[in-house]
Amino acid sequence: MGAVLLAVSGGRDSMCLADLTFRSGRPFAVAHVNFHLRGADSDADEELVRSWCAARAVPCHVQSFDTVSYAAREGLSIEMAARRLRYRWFGALCAAEGYAAVAVAHHAQDNAETLILNLLRGTGLRGVCGMDPVGELPDSDQAGIPLIRPLLGFSREQIQQYVQTEQVPYREDATNAETQYKRNRIRHEVLPVFEQINPAYLSVLNRDMAHFAQAQAVLDRWYAAVTARLVREEGAVQRVDLRALAACPDRDYLLYRLMAANGFHEAETASVAALLDGSGTRSGKVFRNASRTLVTATGELLFFNTVQGEETDTAVVIPGPGTYQLGADRFSVEVRPADDALPLKQPGSSCLDADRLPFPFVVRRPQPGDWLKPIGTGGRKKLSNLFTDLKFSLLDKAGALLVLPPGEPHRICALAGWRVDERYRVRPDTQQAVVIRRIL
């Protein structure tokens, strides 16, 4: 492994990790974040880390953040904002400097605290598995960067003994003693009670977390085998067979895992489960999060990437044939055999190759950057230029209906009722056609 990037705050745990790594002779660099949350104390932490690295010729990267402003802007707690900022920066550093992994100084008590926090927040089995000794760097724009925790098997007392014996310099963060933060309250008020009940509580909890992690690994293998029969991947679209899902005795757990894998929480999962259990219509219900959209269609659930900027009054997801409304405009969608009866030239209608435009797709209003390759032109054309060619008024432009596949935010399949993109046109070998018709 190449050089490792150590996250060093200047506190006891991270300075212990830095000292141990230096003594090992392994190549490494240090990354320190000044969050400017504790005034002069934050600057003193930075100075300690800088001077320790300088005395040992260890590469030292320092970054400052206005954490309070970022947290307010993003609607995050200070703790979550700090976590996101530092991990994103660590990922960028690894990508720029070629570091092989990021190492953090989490230890056994941190692991126990995380277990209790997860239980209080509400968690599945994965949340009680504890921290991974080797995982993936979270909250980073860089995928696949290892996150390692070399001190996870050691207690806070063992670390304290080491830094005292070896006279490792460190700074105490006064906020660690404050109990307004949930983690600190667990550390100072809950864990001491555990220790009174069972002095070996730490080893017991960590052993249990290891057993939970083994159980999770077994479940993961089972889940992968079952979903191989339930789920069909078609590009950016994930299709879940509802009949096969309903026949599974562990449907609720499978649904929970499928929803969680697509970024949905317990509330959305409960809503979908209630919908599947109910006697009403299952088709056409839409659930969205920041990155994924779920649409309930006849006989299947469809997961796909959320169209950025998509809003209910400016876009509609089309899960299958039917009649739809976008604002004041109504239109029908049907699938028909590609024969001579297709309304290829009929005003207000557009015909597209069904194999090239599978459900679900999106119908929305125009956005800056939209373009297509109109049939017969051989070239790419901005939608704004096409509007000019068609002599569209401002009202015509605002009322235009555009057809798009998920995952391609600006290449449109059709300007409904007017033009079709070359890629999606009906060809002599087309078997089925999607017909989109405005209803006046």
CB-based contact 116:189 (threshold 8 Å) = no
If one compares 398 and 283, the residue with the highest pLDDT of the two is: 398
Nearest to 52 by CA among 32, 35, 26: 32
**Angle at the Cα of 408 (from 404 to 414), degrees rounded to 5?**
25
CATH of domain 4-197: 3.40.50.620
Pairing mode, if any, of strands 60-64 and 146-148? unpaired
Residues sharing a CB contact under 8 Å with residue 167, sequence separation 6 or more, in sequence order? none
Angstrom distances, CA of residue 108 to CA of 113, 149, 151, 158: 9, 10, 8, 10
Q: Cα 13 vs. chain centroid, distance in angstroms?
A: 30
CB-based contact 427:353 (threshold 8 Å) = yes
What pLDDT does residue 310 have? 45
What does the pLDDT look like over 185-199, one tens digit per residue? 999 899 999 999 999
Per-residue pLDDT for 243 more than 60? yes
Convert 279-307 to b/e letters by CB count within 10 Å (16 or more is b).
eeebebbebbeeebbbbbbeebbbbbbbb
What pLDDT does residue 175 have? 66
Share of the chain above pLDDT 90, in %: 58
- How sure is the predictor about 281, in pLDDT bands with cuts at 50, 70 and 90? very low
Nearest to 202 by CA among 134, 104, 103, 114: 114
If one compares 417 and 376, the residue with the highest pLDDT of the two is: 417
User: What average pLDDT does the segment 236-264 reach?
Assistant: 89
Nearest to 133 by CA among 27, 26, 206, 30: 206
d(CA 268, CA 266): 6
Domain boundaries, the chain: 4-197, 237-305, 315-439
Q: Phi, psi at residue 288, to the nearest 5°?
A: -130, 145
User: What average pLDDT does the segment 45-61 reach?
Assistant: 97
**4-197 and 237-305 share one fold:** no
If one compares 160 and 2, the residue with the highest pLDDT of the two is: 160
CATH of domain 237-305: 3.30.465
- How sure is the predictor about 178, in pLDDT bands with cuts at 50, 70 and 90? low
Nearest to 135 by CA among 112, 103, 108: 103
What integer best gives the mean pLDDT of the chain? 89
